Structure 1
Amino acid sequence: MHSHQAVLQASQLKQNQARAQWLSATLIHWSEQTADAATGHYRLYYSNPARLHIAQDGSMQGEDGKLTLTPLTRFAAKPTQAQFQYLPAGLQFQLQQSPDRIRQLLHSQLIIAKEDSKGRVLSYTHLQHAAALDALYIDAQQATLGVSLPKQDEKNTRTHFQLWAPTAAQVAACVYKNGKAHASQLSPMRFDTARGTWHTALKQNLSGHYYRYLVDVYVPGTGIVRNLVTDPYSISLNTDSQRSYIADLNAASLKPAGWDRQQRPQRVKTATDMAIYELHVRDFSISDDSVPHRDRGKFLAFTHSNAKGMRHLKELSQAGLTDVHLLPVFDIATIPEKNCISPRINSKGADPEAQAVIAKIADKDCFNWGYDPYHYSAPEGSYASNPEDGAVRIREFRQLVQALHQAELRVGMDVVYNHTAYTGQHARSVLDRIVPGYYHRLSPSGKIEDSTCQPCGNTATEHMMMAKLMTDSVRLWAKQYQIDSFRFDLMGHQPRAVMEQLRDQLTADNGRAIQLIGEGWNFGEVANNQRFVQASQLSLNGSQIATFSDRARDALRGGGHGDTPISMRQRQGYINGMLDRPNSSITQAYTQQEKMRAADMVRLGLAGSVASYRMRTADDIERRLQDIDYNGQPAGYASQPGEVVNYVENHDNQTLFDLNVYKLPDNSTSEDRMRVQVLGLGFNLLSQGIPYLHAGSEILRSKSMDSNSYNSGDWFNVLDWSYRSNGYGRGLPPAKDNQQFYPLLRPLLENTAIRAGQTDILSTKAAVMDLLKIRQSSGLFRLSDATEINQRLRFFNTGAQQNPALIVMQLDGSNLPGEAYRRIIVIFNSADTAQSIQIPGLNNLPLQLHPVHQNTVAGDRRIAQEARYDAAHAGFYVPQRSITTFTELN
């Protein structure tokens, strides 16, 4: 034994980490702890049967061969390549081997060892090989992966299989006549050394059959394994995704009647024309008794045009909604596709029974949000009438798309390419069982990163073939299912360059722009562009790709993600008490400066968070929005309004209604709660940029205060299209994510006065519909260029002397082709009392209430009855908690 450096024992070999990385096809970096390279000898050992081990004498044994490595420098240093700056300092080694030789080595078990002069191992590591694979198999980008069926005019009827598995020792295709039969064919596949793909062609048209791949591959720390695995490029599967389905998506049998002739809605010319509604497939219909029982919770529920839910969507569409964004509908790993459980629950108030029942069966019931990807390019089977038949889910999802298109609603998909549900050798892991260690992002020590979802594995879209898988998948959904837009979950974990390439490919494929939006949060192992330039809020300027803005969201609602029970109550927002209605937990009133600061952030949201827009702030200084601080970042960050998504509620965290239960005084009336809800949604709908509504927010949707309902079942995620209940007070929400709030929740959930009745629900719905109509009535609410916003948008009542309860916004429509209004004045009154204001320069104008206000039947009739404009004195009077729009015709 050496002093300070123990010789490693044989039992330690499998547990060591991958601290070495290929930086290119021939360059290796090892983050060795020893700074002086002269203290040992370095060798790269390889073994095709994976038999490397450390013998009792401390030497490496079981190799097929070894290469002596000479460090390029004596002392440790960081890599020079920008994409590897996150790595610790280490030694680098240049391999003097041909590309073909290195390709051969990458099929083997590889270990770098540092040895003493007697050949005893002092330290060793496995290698991360992604960069080498990308460099050596760059032509794989052009490969058509998956299964290709013969075209109708082909004389030779063949079914082609192609799988990218560059480190596999051998691969075979197993073919099955159906989802349950034994294999009818086993075809060895040939390796393409240029592309790293395995391929075979079988002499028949296998449409309607199923298949899997038999892959022999080395798994670090395990050895050579034989995996029977589905295809990452599966377009459909049988029940619970046991086998991949063979089909031509262009086949007439997979298309509903009229599919190729359908008229896609033409309402969206630019991104800011969108008004998006986020909807979960199962939530939409599982409680809708007007849908036949067999179709509830399924794709086919959308085809019942006279059902309550579809009538509701059509009303929204007529008011101005353009897009329905579906929570994940790709193949999901955590929803059983057969024999799932639908528990019977009878609970109310703060009863703990419901959450206890759900906790026992949460992973066996029929519900999950679906952020657990299994196969990215196949529709989810639990939403199909027959998940065993791979054709059914394809056809029925197309029927859903067609039904929404017929309702003049475009269809968007929530896609989750930032992680997979499982990794490694788990039975529901796909990518890692084909090319171990490639598709997921690894830490410098070789651990799979999981910042986006514990215990999931973050995918590495900076790697060539993971980027290809993502782009090929999105392109398939757009082309084959006529998807109109995409929402990317945690898009900040993707490279900007990959997203921009995808944007361009979608336009080329479809002859029109396909809008891309996503969560641009900056966190985790990729934060601050340390591995690549991210597709995040501050990195997407000029990209035409939109990110969700938290600026106005947090100001309106109060607080932010991760609030504690104390802060949840004590951080009121602009709409729910900060101005003039402190709740019982507020120990010190908000200052005038805090109120004005919140109002400024709300104005910033109304201006679309556009960086170049100038506004006088509470300290009486005119600033560009990019020069206003937001938690150490520029508050205004977008180059163009089409790069911002505005929202006050989505599927994550509590609903707006439930957040307001925390924030508002407990004795608030049902009308108070309704007015605050409409205010929040109104600020969202009338902001520049893209408005995003969570399904049910317009009918006061509650999840009984659940802060994370991803696995809370149908009971807490209820949507009631009969409008009898908003879902509040159905029991204590699941303990897993809510137990810390139980002391607060119990008295609140028992308070029956908080529950919304049908009158309040219908009034809220009508008021939100009116706001959608107002937005739709003028292009001034949907300006697509930052220059236009700078020229046409103006705020009054700003600076140090403002009344922070009133936000007065003017939109100038003069000289705007096709615009009906020369001027629009919108006054947002978030105070608990009616307000009046004089605005110099707005006197003697032919202003009238917006026609929607004048003609409303069930909306906010107070506006037509109480709102006034005094032309002689430029005075405006508006009701409490209201949004009033005045117009001047062009």
Structure 2
Amino acid sequence: MKFKLSFLLLAMLFISCQEKHKSPHVENSKTAIETNLWLDYSKASTTFKLWSPTAELVKLNLYKNGFEGEPFETHELTPSMNEVWTKKISKDLAGTYYTYQIMLNNKWLEETPGIYAQAVGVNGKRAMVIDLETTNPSDWNKDKQLELKSPNDAIIYELHIRDMTIHPQSGSSIPGTYLGLVETGTKGPNEVATGIDHLRALGITHVHLLPTYDHYSIDETKLDKPQFNWGYDPQNYNVPEGSFSTNPYDAEIRIKEFKTMVKAFHDHGIGVILDVVYNHTGRTETSNFNLEAPNYYYRFWEDGKPSDASACGNETASEKAMMRKFIIESVSYWAKEYHLDGFRFDLMGIHDITTMNAVSETLKKINPNIFVYGEGWTAGDSPLPMEERALKKHITKMPQITAFSDDIRDGLKGSVFDDKSSGFVSGAKNTEESVKFGVVGAIQHPQIDYQVVNYSNEAWANHPWQSISYVSCHDNHTLFDKLKVSREDADNTTLIAMDKLANAVVMTSQGIAFMHAGAEMLRTKKGEHNSYNLPDSINQIDWNWKVKNAHVVDYYKNLIALRKAHPAFRMTSANEVRKNLEFKTVKDGLVSYQIGNYANGDTWKDILVIYNANTKVYDYALDDAWQLAVIGDNFTLDDGKAISNMIKVPAISMLIAYRK
């Protein structure tokens, strides 16, 4: 009976993974899933491992460096019953570079560093045997990740490492690098703080780094020539990008400098979130996945054509056991080895729900404070059945995961796909329910008419922290550019008021607050939609903006201070929000609500929030006496002016009053 059951299990695994267009036997052993495929290094020996179910032969090439020359040794790997090829070499190989090659149909494929490579040479072509202990900065064992009572305590700042310090007036001595980002004491024009000092003063809790694993786009041998890319073209998933290091030729340096950056952020009370792109690879035929197990890691349509839900040329198949294993082990590696505080999944909707739940459950065991969020959509159709996709509408099936709310994003400023589309802050009609939906964090609330929310006709979050509240990110226009292109008739003063109101709503909403780097200083990309490979002149943070728009920077600082000081804006459960948050006057261009009962342990008993998107002052009738906390640009969080009967809410602004 045991034999029959084992045979049936093997057969089921075989059938589930085999497809007509693929080589005939793929993943027919459960033990491959349970095998540790990471390099096994010690000073005494190193064991190399590669899972390749269709290979006829596998060889290991050893090199003196990571970029040139012939191998000084070549070894054959030995296959096992679980389709894992291994070779143990009994000597200290630390610092030795290596590649694998598989033979398929009697032909050697290109060399690959292997998908489990932890260190690579310049441009990621060759992996390196490494003693990771040697890459730890001073006191790494004392490094502490951030602790959060609830995920929506986070205030996330999304940045690209090069953007923050590459401007000639950034004050950085090593611009465009991991170390440059955390260099303290840097000054810009008029002696304004830049880099990490700016982030500390702003008050954000986490930085979200656009992809900083090794990607194809940047030629690391030509860093004297300006190059830019967001990095959504993965090459080596488990290695930091070399172009942000001071020496991409030395495999250890990028690792140590990445860790040094993380520790510096932690030392200043800022968490680090990594943007991860497991949904597609930068190349297809010659990707590291295909050079190990051709076609296995990707999805295909029934006719054998590759699917492309990423709109980047391919899509990976997270539902396949070895791909799921890779994703889970990869994020776990980053969490443990690099002490990361969270992960943002690009096009999370391409992945399956089971995998995403396994990711979050595994990470929570490593660090209960880690959180996982992603884009709850795809960029195209997929063979993965709709009901299995990790989409925004399926967040209720993913209890520890958060999704971006495009509902509040476009409700506030207009559709990202239509330049002329406007939103609540820019004068659009009938957007109030979308704003309300965003305010409560996409949960079920009795006062919301879900039939007129812009993209969702029902609640999609179990808890308010499962929704990312935001109005702009690296994609599409910056907030200020979007307002400008959609309201060409508005003057600069009006556009600035719209900008401030948009993120005022974000910072007083119940979801996780998220902002795009530079939004606080009216960042512009000169009207560009998609700047993923455009020059520094488009993408860089120009620190002159901080001088020119100092009053806007101050407004954002005050918004962040307000949110951090008052936990009523970040309640932890849907029941808490339903119990304590009540919408009051809602009409064209106006949304007001009241939070009561010292919500979430707040020091204020009652809080009144009014968003006036109208171009005229609004006379708001008060039911009782209040104290004024925010009006226009003025923030008084203690001992505010007493008000009663009626208050004039300035045009295109937020007003907050409270009772103790």
Shift of 1:28: 12
* From 821, 825, 833, the counterpart of 2:608: 825
Partner Cα separation in structure 1 for residue 359 and residue 23 of structure 2: 25
Partner Cα separation in structure 2 for residue 392 and residue 634 of structure 1: 50
Shift of 1:830: 1.1
Alignment of 1:275-286 (within 5 A): 275-286=155-166
CA contact (8 A) 1:492 1:520 kept: yes
Q: Which amino acid aligns with 1:307?
A: T
Shift of 1:551: 0.9
Instruction: Please name the residue that 2:234 is paired with.
Output: 373
Question: Are positions 1:559 and 2:428 aligned together?
Answer: no
Q: Which amino acid aligns with 1:380?
A: E
Instruction: Please name the residue that 1:745 is paired with.
Output: none
Partner Cα separation in structure 2 for residue 530 and residue 506 of structure 1: 26
Instruction: State the Cα deviation string for residues 291-348 of structure 1 (Å, max 9, x = none).
Output: 444x111111023111148746445445541110000000011111121464xxxxxx
Question: Are positions 1:657 and 2:480 aligned together?
Answer: yes
Instruction: State the Cα deviation string for residues 597-632 of structure 1 (Å, max 9, x = none).
Output: 31111111111111x211155xxxxxxx4x65545x
CA contact (8 A) 2:145 2:340 kept: no
* From 818, 837, 848, the counterpart of 2:627: 848
CA contact (8 A) 2:311 2:380 kept: no
Question: Are positions 1:472 and 2:329 aligned together?
Answer: yes
Shift of 1:137: 2.0
Alignment of 1:154-173 (within 5 A): 157-173=44-60
Question: Are positions 1:147 and 2:2 aligned together?
Answer: no
CA contact (8 A) 2:170 2:195 kept: no
SS of 2:130's partner is: coil
Instruction: State the Cα deviation string for residues 106-165 of structure 1 (Å, max 9, x = none).
Output: 9xxxxxxxxxxxxxxxxxx953369x634x1221122111311127xxxxx110111100
Partner Cα separation in structure 2 for residue 713 and residue 148 of structure 1: 41
Instruction: Please name the residue that 2:21 is paired with.
Output: 127
Shift of 1:722: 3.7
Instruction: Please name the residue that 1:878 is paired with.
Output: 649
Partner Cα separation in structure 2 for residue 832 and residue 419 of structure 1: 45
CA contact (8 A) 1:863 1:879 kept: no
Instruction: Please name the residue that 1:448 is paired with.
Output: 306
Instruction: Please name the residue that 1:304 is paired with.
Output: 183
Partner Cα separation in structure 1 for residue 523 and residue 566 of structure 2: 28
Partner Cα separation in structure 1 for residue 569 and residue 201 of structure 2: 17
Partner Cα separation in structure 2 for residue 276 and residue 302 of structure 1: 16
Partner Cα separation in structure 1 for residue 114 and residue 167 of structure 2: 35
Partner Cα separation in structure 2 for residue 887 and residue 685 of structure 1: 17
Question: Are positions 1:207 and 2:101 aligned together?
Answer: no
- Note closer, same or farther for the CA distance 1:531–1:687 as it changes in structure 2 (3 Å cut): closer
Shift of 1:233: 0.7
Partner Cα separation in structure 1 for residue 442 and residue 52 of structure 2: 45
* From 755, 765, 778, the counterpart of 2:553: 765
Partner Cα separation in structure 1 for residue 459 and residue 601 of structure 2: 29
Question: Are positions 1:540 and 2:395 aligned together?
Answer: yes
Q: Which amino acid aligns with 1:539?
A: H
Q: Which amino acid aligns with 2:408?
A: A
- Note closer, same or farther for the CA distance 1:322–1:863 as it changes in structure 2 (3 Å cut): closer
- Note closer, same or farther for the CA distance 1:768–1:290 as it changes in structure 2 (3 Å cut): closer
Shift of 1:806: 2.0
SS of 2:594's partner is: strand
Shift of 1:861: 3.5
SS of 1:444's partner is: coil
Q: Which amino acid aligns with 2:562?
A: I
CA contact (8 A) 1:863 1:884 kept: no
Partner Cα separation in structure 2 for residue 522 and residue 263 of structure 1: 35
SS of 2:504's partner is: helix
209-218 or 300-309, which moves further after superposition?
A: 300-309
Partner Cα separation in structure 2 for residue 629 and residue 780 of structure 1: 24
Q: Structure 2: which 5+ runs fail to align?
A: 1-7
Partner Cα separation in structure 2 for residue 277 and residue 862 of structure 1: 22
CA contact (8 A) 1:462 1:532 kept: no
Q: Which amino acid aligns with 1:825?
A: L
- Note closer, same or farther for the CA distance 1:764–1:28 as it changes in structure 2 (3 Å cut): closer
Shift of 1:263: 3.5
Instruction: Please name the residue that 1:508 is paired with.
Output: 365
- Note closer, same or farther for the CA distance 1:26–1:138 as it changes in structure 2 (3 Å cut): closer
CA contact (8 A) 1:288 1:721 kept: no
Partner Cα separation in structure 2 for residue 540 and residue 862 of structure 1: 36
What is the total number of aligned residue pairs between the two structures?
A: 645
SS of 2:471's partner is: coil
Instruction: Please name the residue that 1:861 is paired with.
Output: 634
SS of 2:56's partner is: strand
- Note closer, same or farther for the CA distance 1:604–1:297 as it changes in structure 2 (3 Å cut): same
SS of 1:183's partner is: coil
Instruction: State the Cα deviation string for residues 802-844 of structure 1 (Å, max 9, x = none).
Output: 3x22211211133x574211011111111112111224xx32x
Runs of 4+ in structure 1 over 6 Å off = none
CA contact (8 A) 2:143 2:263 kept: yes
Shift of 1:876: 2.5
Instruction: State the Cα deviation string for residues 608-658 of structure 1 (Å, max 9, x = none).
Output: 111x211155xxxxxxx4x65545x42421111121111110000111111
Q: Which amino acid aligns with 1:297?
A: G
Q: Which amino acid aligns with 2:607?
A: I
Q: Which amino acid aligns with 2:46?
A: T
Q: Which amino acid aligns with 1:849?
A: L
The structure that has the greater radius of gyration is 1
- Note closer, same or farther for the CA distance 1:290–1:525 as it changes in structure 2 (3 Å cut): closer
Question: Are positions 1:705 and 2:527 aligned together?
Answer: yes
Question: Are positions 1:186 and 2:69 aligned together?
Answer: no
Shift of 1:723: 2.8
Alignment of 1:564-713 (within 5 A): 568-569=419-420, 571-578=421-428, 595=429, 597-610=430-443, 612-615=444-447, 617=449, 625=450, 630-631=454-455, 633-666=456-489, 668-713=490-535
Shift of 1:559: 2.7
Q: Which amino acid aligns with 1:451?
A: A
Shift of 1:670: 2.4
Q: Which amino acid aligns with 1:236?
A: A
- Note closer, same or farther for the CA distance 1:693–1:292 as it changes in structure 2 (3 Å cut): closer
TM-score by length of 2: 0.92
TM-score by length of 1: 0.69
Partner Cα separation in structure 2 for residue 478 and residue 318 of structure 1: 27
Partner Cα separation in structure 2 for residue 787 and residue 27 of structure 1: 43
Instruction: Please name the residue that 1:120 is paired with.
Output: none
SS of 1:160's partner is: strand
SS of 1:173's partner is: strand
Instruction: State the Cα deviation string for residues 367-393 of structure 1 (Å, max 9, x = none).
Output: 100000001000001111110100000
- Note closer, same or farther for the CA distance 1:315–1:824 as it changes in structure 2 (3 Å cut): farther
* From 198, 205, 210, the counterpart of 1:322: 205
- Note closer, same or farther for the CA distance 1:543–1:523 as it changes in structure 2 (3 Å cut): farther
- Note closer, same or farther for the CA distance 1:796–1:450 as it changes in structure 2 (3 Å cut): same
Instruction: State the Cα deviation string for residues 839-885 of structure 1 (Å, max 9, x = none).
Output: 4xx32x3x2122xx49xxxx813999xx98642x3x22221121111
| Percent identical residues | 30
Alignment of 1:357-506 (within 5 A): 365-424=226-285, 426=286, 429-454=287-312, 456-506=313-363
- Note closer, same or farther for the CA distance 1:277–1:817 as it changes in structure 2 (3 Å cut): closer
Instruction: State the Cα deviation string for residues 396-443 of structure 1 (Å, max 9, x = none).
Output: 11111111112211000000000001111x3xx211111111011111
Instruction: State the Cα deviation string for residues 223-275 of structure 1 (Å, max 9, x = none).
Output: 744332211111121111121011132x1x21111222123333x22111111
Q: Which amino acid aligns with 1:500?
A: N
- Note closer, same or farther for the CA distance 1:615–1:818 as it changes in structure 2 (3 Å cut): closer
Q: Structure 1: which 5+ runs fail to align?
A: 1-22, 30-80, 85-105, 107-124, 152-156, 343-364, 579-594, 618-624, 725-757
Instruction: Please name the residue that 1:549 is paired with.
Output: 405
Partner Cα separation in structure 2 for residue 452 and residue 698 of structure 1: 31
SS of 1:468's partner is: helix
* From 806, 810, 813, the counterpart of 2:597: 813
What RMSD over aligned residues (CA atoms) do the two structures have, in Å? 2.6
